[in-house]
Structure 1
Amino acid sequence: MSEKRLSLSPARFLSARRRHRSAGLVVLLFGLLAVGSAYAAFAPDNAVADNSPQSQQIEEGKKLFAVGCASCHGLNAEGGSNGEGKMAGPSLIGVGAAAVDFQVGTGRMPAMQTGSQVPRKTPSYTEAEIEALAAYVASLAPGPAVPGQESYDVSKATDEQIVRGGELFRTNCTACHNFAGRGGALPNGKYAPSLMGVSEKHIYEAMLTGPQQMPVFSDQVMTPQDKRDIIAYVKSLQEQKDPGGFGLGRLGPVSEGLWGWLVGIGLLVCVAVWIGAKGVKAKGAKAE
């Protein structure tokens, strides 16, 4: 009998015992062994990826986000409320690294207090910390990336490009920022900020991401070259001098006319009244 069993082929041996009550356990053990082997084969590659510089930067950004941003935007950047049913901070999933670089790089975020609009101020984070925050938010979902220097470098812009940028600026931007880029009022206590002192990088990011009330000028709406021409024009405005001494906000004849009437003519009227009063006193003194 034993010789007969030994003479069986492996296939017949397994076929004869496929209905054995331990067969399921054996199959399960073989399956676990196969899964474990596959995991051991792929685990080293994953471990290397997790220790890459980009992964470490994202992890650092996540820690910074949890401390400085999660109270308004949620622990996972999903957005948060102030406990009264009102939104404390919008979701940042999908806004991209460029939006974070602009908001944090201009000091608008983190906001000191809520209001109709968050003003520009001195940044609270270093360049390395801003890059880490941007990398973390970018890892959550696809969005506009931080532009490279070649995208906004206008150091070699020609006069023709500056003129063309001025035309684009007057068509798309002056309604809010005024023709001199000095900003202007908007409804409900909001305003378009002045572009004086704003870096080329942040101007490009603002057009790319549309912060606060500003519309988004994507590459499909406004080409990268159009954006560079506008930046070149804005830089020319920033470098422009005021030959008259005071720019008066460069708001045009209205501000200049008000200054002339209220200050210039006002002073002349005061001098005329003073001279008249002095003359009356002098005549009265002679009469006595």
Structure 2
Amino acid sequence: MTRITAWRRHPLARYAVLILALSLVGMVYAAFVQAGKPADAALAAGKVDDVAAGRSLFVQHCSSCHGMNAQGTTTAPTLVGAGAAAVDFQMSTGRMPAANPGAQAPRKPPAPWVDETTTRQVAAYVQSLGGGPQVPGAEQVDPATGDAGKGGELFRANCIQCHNWVGAGGALTQGKYAPNLNEASPTQIYEAMVTGPQAMPVFNDSTITPEEKRSMIAYITQVRAQKDPGGFGLGRIGPVTEGLVAWIVGLTALALAAIWITAKKRQKS
């Protein structure tokens, strides 16, 4: 007992107790974090094995532009922190791998080696490099659970400047353009909002909540299924094509009317 009392009165005793307490707190915290938060790669891919397979595919098909470790090059940006959602969007829409670098990668059929499995694997690898937005679940993008009316208000406030009021798309500057949304799936629309591909800004959850995103998806999928009351939508581009058609048809009608009236007068004389 005397030895314990003497040890407690030693000048270094308080420091030893402090170090021991900090070590215990660190160990307990680490245990809780590992138990409650699986690796981002596992969350993105469904199984950790996908990361290794994804890296192999990445090195084979993507590293020539993005670098061996996805650090980016002068040709393509870094993918560290891009997230699985960005990979899923780019690969599922055929924009990546890009055949010819340009102002903007167009939507096209996916490459022959790209399917649901390989896309998931590459997405898992990219997610493991530094987190980022993950692929949304089916319940997050279900149009049936969204409010199309509210979604229309949000779409008109944030998107029609580029995508047109029905998502028909439009031209931007420097050779870029807002793509047509008619072919985009609900998942791809959600992924585009959270990742901001190419010229599109990022709409994170603090800007537009997940519920509001789902309502916007409901509006987009509903309005593109509507039939045009006039019978011909003229591409749904808006007043540009409508004005052009009105101008051409109107001028043609006036010219024909003038010719007809002149011909009638000549016959009478």
TM-score higher than 0.5 = yes
Q: 1:63 to 1:275 in 2, by over 3 A?
A: farther
Aligned mates of 2:108, 2:238 — CA distance in 1 = 28
Identity level (%): 54
C-alpha deviations, 1:116-142, integer Å up to 9, x for none?
111111112111110011011111111
Q: CA deviation at 1:107?
A: 0.5
Larger relative contact order, structure 1 or 2 (CA cutoff 8 Å, min sep 6)? 2
1:261 maps to 247
SS at match of 1:119: coil
Aligned mates of 1:253, 1:212 — CA distance in 2 = 27
Q: Which of the residues 110, 125, 136 maps onto 1:123? A: 110
Query: Structure 2 matches for 1:1-288, cutoff 5 A?
Result: 54-80=47-73, 87-124=74-111, 125-157=114-146, 161-266=147-252, 269-270=255-256, 273=259
1:212 maps to amino acid: Q
2:200 maps to amino acid: M
Q: 1:177 to 1:66 in 2, by over 3 A?
A: same
TM-score by length of 2: 0.76
Determine if contact 1:208/1:217 at 8 Å carries over to the other structure.
yes
C-alpha deviations, 1:83-133, integer Å up to 9, x for none?
xxxx20100011010000001111100011011111111112111110011
2:227 maps to amino acid: K
Aligned mates of 1:253, 1:146 — CA distance in 2 = 37
Aligned mates of 1:164, 1:108 — CA distance in 2 = 30
C-alpha deviations, 1:31-54, integer Å up to 9, x for none?
xxxxxxxxxxxxxxxxxxxxxx82
Flag structure 1 segments of 5+ consecutive residues without an equivalent.
Answer: 1-52, 81-86, 284-288
Aligned mates of 2:117, 2:223 — CA distance in 1 = 31
2:120 maps to amino acid: E
Aligned mates of 2:124, 2:218 — CA distance in 1 = 28
Determine if contact 2:166/2:224 at 8 Å carries over to the other structure.
no
1:255 maps to amino acid: T
Which segment is superposed worse, 221-230 or 268-277? 268-277
Aligned mates of 1:106, 1:254 — CA distance in 2 = 28
Determine if contact 1:197/1:238 at 8 Å carries over to the other structure.
no
Q: CA deviation at 1:263?
A: 3.2
* Structure of larger gyration radius: 1
Q: CA deviation at 1:275?
A: 8.6
SS at match of 2:143: coil
